[in-house]
Amino acid sequence: MPARSIVPAVTPRLDLTADPVELTAALVDIPSVSGSEERLADAVERALREQAGGLEIVRSGNAVLARTNLGRDSRVVLAGHLDTVPVNDNLPLSRTGGGEDEVLHGCGTVDMKGGDAVMLHLAATLEEPRHDLTFVFYDCEEVSADRNGLNRIERDLPDWMDGGLAVVCEPSDASVQAGCQGTLRVEVRTEGRRAHSARAWMGSNAIHAAEPILRRLSEYEPRSPDVDGLRFHEGLQAVGISGGVAGNVVPDECVVTVNHRFAPDTSLEEAQRRVREIFHDFEVTVVDAARSAHPGLSQPATAELVEASGGEPVAKLGWTDVARFAARGMPAVNFGPGSPTLAHTKEEHVAASQIRHCAGVLRRALGSG
């Protein structure tokens, strides 16, 4: 049997100066499911080194970072993840319509290669920005938080995450979504005593004992505070319940998993205290927690972006990586093409007009005018 030749994968060439719609298409056709971003990261790094003269560029795993060092009085960080959820029979890219009605369909069009394309286009074509700019293209956002590439960057290259404003180009329907909710997930546990179900009086049913937990959840009245002129909506929901041993055994344990979404006027410590007070007579274990992000609309760079967008900012109802930047004392917003409701779906698609609109808004907000 003849020896099989091994042909190295060719790094695709990206044209960063092209229409960002065409750049989006090129990015989408390079599969980059979480943990397999290397080929796309190679293409991004190569394109930046060849076409974005004057930028300082570093590689961190499958993340690529680039920044200007022009001595401006302020710095804006633009961030976007390179990975996608697993492909769902929605690659290669397809197109419908034409001109301003054109729509790109495929895995990553919304979440978030349209936003990545906008960032790459600006990195190569924006001359004399009014702020110094940092571009962060990172890996493993779509999987567990401990694998997120921003953790590694913050640990190894912390100054690359610093600035006066962070813009995470996640899909926001081309509107400025300011700040974000915090999230807290806890397990509320009840205990009982096992017995044969034929002699139930000899035991204590832990599932039955969970009734007060569910009643308090149904009676909970969520807050809707105004933060920086934006209306946020909180929530406290049971998202899971487990218990039971066998079909003929009175269970001795039941666990109700509860998710609390809290507004930016509430610290993580306050959110934890609030949940523990609600379930004060039960064992409560925190299993996941992330801080909220303040909108920071009063900051000059944020105001410039809102003005350039031509629309009204809205509150981000959900958690995104803007919170990582806010924890460093920076205002942070989401701004990118595509509807968040389409992210992770087989029907993922983005309008070409939104990609071009976002590129134009950021050019006006960050350029020298």
Q: How many CB atoms are located within 10 Å of the residue 237 CB?
A: 12
- Rounded Cα distance, 163 and 301, in Å: 10
83 is catalytic: yes
Q: How many CB atoms are located within 10 Å of the residue 186 CB?
A: 22
Catalytic pick among 42, 116, 132, 141: 141
Catalytic pick among 42, 83, 170, 234: 83
For 3, which DSSP code?
Answer: P
Strands 182-191 and 253-262: antiparallel
Q: How many residues does the chain have?
A: 369
Q: Is 128 helix (H, G, I), strand (E, B) or coil?
A: coil
252 is catalytic: no
- Rounded Cα distance, 224 and 65, in Å: 38
Task: Please identify every residue annotated as catalytic.
Answer: 83, 141
